[in-house]
Homo-oligomer: A and B are copies of this chain.
């Protein structure tokens, strides 16, 4: 383990762990509610040092053939797999995720490393012979230079791995600022990449707060910023990065609806919804937080089956594999989630299953919220308009599929959505016309696999290109187009041969 509870978690700069002791903040174990460690908050100078080291490492790394860069990723994948349990334990302690869930997250992160292993193929440019007589032209995708990632607490392993493996495989060097809430697993993963053979300085990690973020956003050596977090921050990041001449993709909040059609296989839908709504305590930007039932018959069946299915759900500490999901990240966040439930109730919705006061024996101070089901939610309610980010599933009742789709298209966010149906035409119409970036047909968490790309529409993503996958390659490279004509050759025509000096 890199860190112990009595040390302060540092930064990874130029291949070494660096302490920047001026400022720090506690890291909690949300299952117990206790402080487990301190994390150093990087000063401007420390962040600038990280940038400088990335800048210094860039020229050599850029010239390293993609095949060699890929081979570092192959070894990285292997080390991630060998150390999976250790990583999951770190995630559990600081984030609260149950090990099975942490393992799922890690696996999705590894998928992105696997994708990055294919970088020689992915970087192929386009070659055109004879764009004019004896003139050829081709486009290359060159790395940007030093790029930065700013990542959220909810996926401390996966979301950073959406970014740095691909960015680095593309030939960039990287400065990562992970969440200060659960920094250990991220730092450890970065050390594994170092161990895999990455040259020092190519990946640097700085823990920190707004000081670190703003340094990254304004330093002109940073060429691009990838961000995942809430929409207001995403908007700030995007605007600031752009104003400072940087390329940016900033992913924000979500409110993901599932339409349950009358012809759906209802048992299957209920089963799928459970994991999608309550997994990871709903602290996922792809969490399915609203079920839109078409017709009261479907709604009644859905609610009653959900209520029954939720009974065995178990919330508890990360260390017990039999738990279904763990605490939320902080006490403040727990209160906020509980507040949304109460506000729903006050606004006239029916709290069918109430998780506001969960009993978790032996973990009285943990930040727990139980699985909650709220029926008869309406679009005007604040709890509908905003992202709850907790283990709360809201049910909205509508009369027609068109009405259900309108609801989704009118919402501020457009991250993920899903329809449950058996009908080919309904599915096709839905996937075509819905204003959402990631669409599931009977798939409640339609997170694209690593070789497709992740991205919401509307105010769920700021930027032109989606995260990871093919769009990620495009984001982390810039196009250069070369047009070439050779003047008539003395050498070929024998001139220089016939009259050598």
Contact = CB atoms under 8 A, between A and B. Distances in A.
Contacts of A438: 480-483
A137 B140 CA distance: 12
A400 B494 CA distance: 7
Copies held by the complex: 4
B114 A423 contact: no
Given A245-B459, A453-B139, A488-B425, A130 B65 contact: yes
A494 B137 contact: no
Nearest to A245: B459
Interface stretch (A39-47, A262-270, A337-345): A262-270
A196 interface: no
A275 interface: no
Interface residues of A, number: 113
A455 B137 CA distance: 14
Interface string A482-497: 1111111111101011
Interface string A446-478: 111111111101010011111000110011001
Contacts of A295: 497
A139 B452 contact: yes
A133 B65 contact: yes
Interface of A: 63-67, 70-71, 74, 77-78, 111, 114-115, 117-118, 120-140, 142, 238-239, 242-243, 245, 247, 261-263, 265, 268, 294-295, 297, 400-401, 421-429, 431-432, 436-443, 446-455, 457, 459, 462-466, 470-471, 474-475, 478-492, 494, 496-497, 500-501
Contact of A424 (B122, B401, B423): B423
A333 to B, nearest CB: 28
Nearest to A78: B78
Given A239-B243, A491-B263, A492-B426, A485 B441 contact: yes
Contact of A439 (B124, B265, B429, B480): B480
Given A238-B242, A438-B483, A440-B482, 6 more contacts: A74-B114, A139-B453, A261-B491, A401-B491, A427-B484, A474-B474
Contact of A425 (B447, B459, B482, B487): B487
A429 B63 CA distance: 12
A486 B401 CA distance: 17
A118 B466 CA distance: 20
Contact of A501 (B124, B125, B501): B501
Contact of A137 (B139, B448, B488): B448
